[in-house]
Chains A and B, each alone.
Chain A
Amino acid sequence: MTPALRRGLFLVGIAGFLAFYLWGLTRLPGFGRYPGPYGFVINRIAVGETNATGVVSAVNFEYRGFDTVGEEFILFAAATGVATVLRHLRDEQEGGGSETVFGEPSSGTTDAVRLASLVFVGPVALFGWFLASHAQTSPSGGFQGGVVLATAFVLIYLAGQFLSFRRISPADLTDSVGSVGAAGFAAIGLTAVVLGFAYLYNFLPLGTVPGAVSSSGTIALISFFVGIEVAAAFILIVGELVEQTLLIRTAGRQS
């Protein structure tokens, strides 16, 4: 299709489709007038049943925990896919260190960037850990904490220390850690089955004070595993993408 024809066909189509879409959307109850009942029921019972004051985390890891298992494995499959697609192929070899990018000498990072990045590594890692361990109390959780934790590792790369980044997070280790995180989550649910309950039943002690770090049973534990898996997956992905800039192809392009 020529670009003009495609644009014309698309504009006709999108006009019709958006008109249709809005025809349905304008029959919703209106912004701010959520009719319930799912949200209202959860808000009423969540804190009492799970001793978690962060209701969104309770929904994510308890009431709709099985969705989160699926989502974990989507991330796992995507990280595996990235590793599959970007694996070292027969005709490629790694270039020398971080001094060359596409075979040309890089300008190197400035001292300011290097200092700022390294200074922030510690606090960011700590903050990520804080987020991952407070899922049941405040707006945080395994996913948010995991991503921030991964950022700490990426800061090391940003400081120009790609080889150190690679040394402390080699692809195999990161892969394994991420898989342990994903498997751990699925296994927690399975433990509940072994104990005679339904899958992902909250079988750990719920604690006495709602919203304390040690309360809410499996929610905190699941959040920990999720944090590990998300951090590992993102480190793996970023590492694979960055590594590509260092590869030099020796065999020439396939036709």
Chain B
Amino acid sequence: MSYLPFFVVAWILGVGLYGIVTSRHLVHQIICLIVVQSSTYVLLLGVGYVTGAVAPYFYDIPLHTPAVDPVVQALALTDVVVEAAVTALLLAFAIQAHKRFGTLDPHELVELKG
């Protein structure tokens, strides 16, 4: 079915968000954020695919062979780096939060409310 990848995208997004909302551990929450991000990878790469085409690397194939879209692959690459950066920062926050609060339960990590 030619829309299956997009159903997968929606499912991954839903699962990731469900994980964030029902999480009781900050590291688990951060990993669920990565899952949410993964849905965008699948979407980007799914949007750019061309049936029957090759990867856009013309080192050893003739120059005008039909190839898939290279732009979304470059976008996905950028996306991965951005996600890695944000995750690293969040994990650093998590380490300090554990030291200050003594717990990583999001329900307990509350100093300000109201």
Contact = CB atoms under 8 A, between A and B. Distances in A.
- A–B contact (CB under 8 angstroms): yes
Interface of A: 3, 6-7, 10, 14, 18, 21-22, 25-26, 28, 30-34, 36, 38-40, 42-44, 46-47, 53-56, 58-60, 64, 67-68, 71, 74-75, 77-79, 81-82, 85-86, 137-139, 141, 143, 210-211, 230, 233, 237, 240-241, 244, 249, 253-254
A241 B91 contact: yes
Given A43-B70, A78-B86, A237-B88, A32 B102 contact: no
Interface residues of B, number: 54
Contacts of B64: 44
Contact of A85 (B21, B73, B93): B93
Contact of A53 (B10, B22, B46, B57): B57
24 contacts: A7-B22, A10-B21, A10-B22, A14-B14, A14-B18, A21-B10, A22-B6, A28-B6, A31-B3, A32-B51, A34-B68, A34-B69, A38-B69, A39-B50, A39-B71, A43-B67, A53-B59, A60-B78, A71-B82, A75-B81, A85-B89, A86-B95, A233-B85, A237-B88
Contacts of A32: 2, 49-52
Given A53-B59, A241-B92, A74 B6 contact: no
B31 interface: no
A40 B86 CA distance: 32
Given A43-B67, A59-B71, A85-B93, A30 B82 contact: no
Nearest to A136: B59
B72 interface: yes
A82 B92 contact: yes
B13 A81 contact: no
A82 B59 contact: no
Interface of B: 2-7, 9-10, 13-14, 17-18, 21-22, 46-52, 55-59, 63-64, 67-74, 77-78, 80-82, 84-86, 88-89, 91-93, 95-96, 99-100, 102
Nearest to A240: B92
A226 to B, nearest CB: 10
Contacts, number: 157
B72 A86 contact: no
B102 to A, nearest CB: 7
A58 B77 CA distance: 13
B100 A253 contact: yes
A39 B70 contact: yes
Contact of A25 (B9, B55, B85, B88): B9
B58 A75 contact: no
A71 B81 CA distance: 7
B77 A56 contact: yes
B85 A74 contact: yes
A34 B47 contact: yes
Contacts of A75: 81, 84-85
Contacts of A6: 21-22
Nearest to A44: B64
